[in-house]
A and B are shown apart, each in its own frame.
Chain A
Amino acid sequence: MSRQSPGRALTILVVALVLMVFVARPASPQAADYPTRPITFVVGFAPGGGADVFARALADATKGILPQAIAVENRPGAGGTAANAYASGRPTDGYTILFAHAGSSIITPLITNQPGLKWDAFDPVARIHGEEEWLFVRPDAQWKTPEELVAFAKANPRRIRVAGSAIGGIDSFVVLTWDKAAGISTQYIPHEGGGPATLTFLGGNAEMLVGNVSEVFQHIEAKRMVPFLVASERRSSIFPNVPTMKEKGWDVVYAQWRSVLAPAGTPPSRIAALTVAFQKALASDSWKRFNGNAKAVDLYLGPLEFRQFLVNEEARLTRIIDELGLRRR
């Protein structure tokens, strides 16, 4: 009926402008603006697995450090690479991060020839922790020292049977590298996982077991097996009396490291905010308790050092994969 008064139009304009300023504030790279909503942590393995338990513990440890929660989303399949494919298609706004270990981010993409799903299709956020790789023998084993065992193995090729998880996993690489370094030839017996391998070993069907200490800690307490060698750089704090393979002259250093990546192109400021939060989270009580139960050691590396580590890790894993002929050329 009547035209709107110029005064009213002006009011609307002012309100609209004010609203625009508040609502559509341009994204600034300041950490205070991030995160403003929950972050999705994509895990390529089913709930309840080692990767999932790790991711949930890490998410839990960031409570109170990050203003928003980290929510785990399980996308299992294809050896973890289904999650890589999914995460690489998500927006690069810092609200998607990805679980990564050697299997999902290096070995499986190499073996299946999917370079687009390898770690370098992502931006490293942080390496978090890892489990050391051990070799175990039975308490009544005839060899008291690693030297005795190696001397026996040299004289009796393929008589030392080592139970472990599938070929192409870190367990198998430890044994194959040790074979080469010590100039011996053991019989590796692969299994679908650490549990079945432990059963084969406990049942007396293998002389040695390779794997992490967390799965078998109580069997060690029950004197059903003894840790014999560890494939770490320095002696482990868990069993300081057990020698490293390195100090015996065999250059075998592996760990089941676990880490966080982000889709390539995520703003560096947001990656930095995450890195800082994770670093702080590692000092929290909940994380320390989890790490203690998991018999794991902190292996924190920031984005730059982690990238360098991944370059080296990929190079040496590629060598082993090709020696085994696991990759089609």
Chain B
Amino acid sequence: MSFIDNLLAGFATALAGPGILVMIGGVAWGIIGGAIPGISGAVAMALALPYTFGLDAATALVMLAGVWAGANYGGSIPAILMRMPGTPAAAAALLDGYELKRQGYASKALGISLICGTIGGLVSVIVLIAMVVPLGNAVLAFASPETFALALFGLTLIAGLTERSFLKGLAAGFFGLLLTTIGLDTLTGSLRFTFGRSEFLSGMDIVSVMVGLFAVSEMFYQLSHPAGRPPELEGNASTALPTLAELRSVGRATVVGTIVGIIVGIMPGAGATASSFVAYNEARRWSKRPDLFGKGSMEGVAAPETANNAVQGGDLVPTLALGIPGSNSAAIMLAALILHGIVPGPFLLTRHTGLVFTLFAGLIIVNLLMIPVGLVILRGCLAVLRLAPPVLVGSILAIVVIGTYAADLFILNPVLALVFGIIGYGMRIYGFSAAATVLGMVLGVLVESELRRSLLISLGSWSIFVTRPISAVLLVLTLGVLIYPAVMYAQTRRRARLVSAGGAAGTG
């Protein structure tokens, strides 16, 4: 059978019987699960997994694909509406998404996230379908040095997150890096800063910290600085979706997000969260209006949301080509296969062609289903905007406690969220960027473990970072983006001095 025949057969199988209903249900659950902090995409899939046991393998796979796609979007709903990332990957979208909500454009931000995310998801799936085998071999070119270099590149965003004091930004970032040293060090097996508590064994729960730094601190801030309700907009602007012109204006950010998402997705080790921060940073670099970032830029929502959806296709490359999951979510897909007696590995494509093409078709369908299902849920969520502030704050507090507790059933996690709420409040008052801390936490694990693993691989030689081409290019880029603004600054100052010196000479 030809490629097209296989794909058409895949569509037929995916849509047969309960297929379409199962996919709609999967997408809906994914969006709702993703919106609840503590239920990440992988957890939403894991919770759905037992319900797939009664289904055949193909139906199970397309349902899980739906949950996965839905959760990629769902995380941004509370991020935009409540400054509370539903999944770690939604943290970058909150920076401008919540600003847009404060300006009264919540539904536009949610619409951008949904539509651009869907585009990113679809493009990445098409790239996956077209190039899974060649890309599968490319995966092996990425190892610890490359992941380290990428994480370092991502950390340059700290410079962009700080408006006034660069030093305060660095301090906030390093605080995040420090937090990641808590827990079991997998490279030596030793415990670090766990204070005898087994809850800290796998580190501080990142969702609890994020929810504390962003959402809880915002509640404290609103209590001390009552801002009133968002401005009343004329007509139906507060529930209007983005217009075509607005979608076109975020086109460049969507392209950047898609490319970043696919590449980071293929790289083993780095995941959706890292991709959304890198995409946010790159979109600003390539934007015509970088000054709007952090102040309610639609591009600032489009880029990270496109990227974290586009990771899906990239993650599946090592999963399908090598049988090695590219992320926790991809691992659940593999588990579904194993539970149905299918052994994953490099022969999955050839031995179970029909099943793989059904998954391909299912991935396209669920990404298309995202728009209608997402719009229905989006409309429902806008009710949040009509809540009176006391009701809203109470509800957010309830979601924070339940969501962070539900993740691991550790009572320590809601406590962490409250503690980091207080820390976040203090950081905000004194001008430290909470986003820089979160970035440090997201990338800190990668920076540390991949650096140390690279040095184990190279038997202690630092040259490994420059002798490997991909890592060398990424490090040069990192150096470039760090030095370039300083050079520009020095040049403008010298020019200004020359001008003023010339002026002085003229008058003198």
Instruction: Name A residues whose Cβ lies closer than 8 Å to a Cβ of B.
Output: 46-49, 52-53, 56, 72, 74-79, 81-82, 85, 108, 111-114, 158-159, 161, 166-168, 172, 187-192, 195-196, 198-200, 202-206, 214-219, 221-222, 224, 289-290, 293, 324-326, 328
Contact = CB atoms under 8 A, between A and B. Distances in A.
Contacts of A204: 140
B191 A112 contact: yes
Nearest to B464: A205
Contact of B143 (A53, A159, A200, A221): A200
B202 A166 contact: no
What class of interface size applies to chain B in its complex with A? 35 or more
Interface in B312-331: 318, 322-325, 331
B332 interface: yes
A274 to B, nearest CB: 22
Given A77-B410, A167-B186, A167-B187, A199 B324 contact: yes
Contacts of B485: none
Contact of A218 (B45, B334, B346): B346
Contacts of B189: 111, 166-168, 172, 190, 324, 326
Contacts of A188: 456
26 contacts: A46-B42, A46-B46, A47-B50, A48-B335, A52-B335, A75-B409, A77-B199, A78-B202, A79-B201, A79-B202, A112-B191, A113-B196, A158-B459, A161-B459, A187-B456, A189-B453, A189-B457, A195-B324, A196-B269, A198-B322, A199-B143, A200-B453, A204-B140, A215-B324, A218-B348, A290-B341
Contacts of A203: 140-143
B188 interface: yes
A216 B188 CA distance: 25
Contact of B187 (A187, A190, A200): A190
B140 A82 contact: no
Contacts of B47: 47
Contact of B186 (A48, A192, A222): A192
B453 A289 contact: no
Nearest to A48: B335
B139 interface: yes
Given A196-B269, A199-B268, A324-B189, A218 B345 contact: yes
A82 B191 contact: no
Contacts of B338: 53, 293
Given A195-B325, A293-B341, A112 B198 contact: yes
Contacts of A196: 268-269, 324
Interface centre among A49, A108, A218, A293 (most CB of B within 10 A): A218
B230 to A, nearest CB: 39
B226 to A, nearest CB: 39
A214 B335 CA distance: 13
Interface string B195-207: 0101101100000
B9 interface: no
B339 A56 contact: yes
Interface centre among A56, A158, A190, A204 (most CB of B within 10 A): A190
B190 interface: yes
A56 B142 CA distance: 35
A79 B51 CA distance: 25
Interface centre among A85, A188, A198 (most CB of B within 10 A): A198
B195 to A, nearest CB: 11
Contacts of A215: 323-324
Nearest to A165: B186
Nearest to B335: A48
Contacts of A82: 198, 408-410
A196 B331 CA distance: 12
Which 6 pairs across A and B sit closest by C-beta, in order of nearness?
A218-B345, A48-B335, A168-B189, A167-B189, A166-B186, A78-B198
A251 to B, nearest CB: 22
Given A77-B201, A112-B201, 6 more contacts: A56-B53, A77-B199, A77-B202, A77-B410, A215-B323, A218-B343
A222 B408 contact: no
A217 to B, nearest CB: 6
Contact of B408 (A76, A111, A219, A221): A76
A322 B451 CA distance: 27
Contacts of B139: 199
B188 A167 contact: yes
B346 A114 contact: no
A290 B342 CA distance: 10
B143 A205 contact: yes
Interface centre among B45, B188, B189, B335 (most CB of A within 10 A): B189
B459 A187 contact: yes
Contacts of B49: 47-48
B457 A206 contact: yes
B144 interface: yes
Nearest to A84: B198
A217 B346 CA distance: 9
Contacts of A46: 42-43, 46
A324 B50 CA distance: 39
B489 interface: no
A159 B331 CA distance: 32
Contacts of A167: 186-189
Contacts of A75: 409
B323 A218 contact: yes
Nearest to B445: A192
A206 B408 CA distance: 35
Contacts of B42: 46
Contacts of B347: 218, 221-222
A68 B231 CA distance: 60
B336 interface: yes
B184 interface: yes
Nearest to A169: B189
Contacts of A53: 335, 338-339
Interface centre among B53, B323, B324 (most CB of A within 10 A): B324
Interface in B20-71: 42-43, 45-47, 49-50, 53
Contacts of A111: 184, 189, 191
Contact of A48 (B46, B268, B322, B457): B46
Nearest to B324: A195
A329 to B, nearest CB: 13
A117 to B, nearest CB: 8
A219 B324 CA distance: 11
B324 A79 contact: no
